[in-house]
A = this chain, B = another copy of it.
């Protein structure tokens, strides 16, 4: 098995990454956008393949997420983001994490799967935890 396919991972590193993503996604789903955006570095970038230009810096990231959260609230939609199946690749002082992310929506009709994506992050250390320097989210497409 190649190291490229299966990098070794330290337990404390993985635990802190898991906790980071759980807190990050719960904040998003609660609409606490400023707290959620504080998980990015001040100059962090957030690219989504459906948008031509990535958001750069917390102010742009907050503006974009606030638009989405406002629209969802107007439509009566609650979301639940599940991020998992994370492959963690330490490199120098940062880590690259490639994860799957599912978005569930709860509407008057009940819960339903809305989107299946991959999420690739570059995380940099911040005290005992992490900040996102770069995020790229890609919608999963048919083969």
Contact = CB atoms under 8 A, between A and B. Distances in A.
Contact of A21 (B13, B85, B88, B111): B85
A53 interface: no
Given A8-B128, A129-B8, A78 B15 contact: no
Chain A binding surface SS class: mixed
Interface residues of A, number: 64
B142 A108 contact: yes
Interface in A1-56: 1-2, 5-16, 18-23, 25-27, 32, 35, 38-39
A116 interface: yes
A82 B73 CA distance: 26
Nearest to A14: B15
Number of copies of chain A assembled together? 3
B141 A78 contact: yes
Contacts of A13: 15
Contacts of A21: 85
A103 to B, nearest CB: 9
A129 B23 contact: no
Interface of A: 1-2, 5-16, 18-23, 25-27, 32, 35, 38-39, 72-73, 75-78, 80-88, 98-100, 102, 104, 106-108, 111-116, 126, 128-129, 131, 140-143
27 contacts: A1-B129, A1-B131, A5-B35, A9-B16, A11-B11, A11-B12, A19-B87, A19-B88, A22-B84, A22-B86, A26-B85, A26-B98, A77-B142, A78-B141, A78-B143, A80-B116, A82-B85, A82-B100, A83-B85, A84-B84, A102-B111, A106-B116, A106-B140, A106-B142, A107-B142, A111-B113, A112-B113
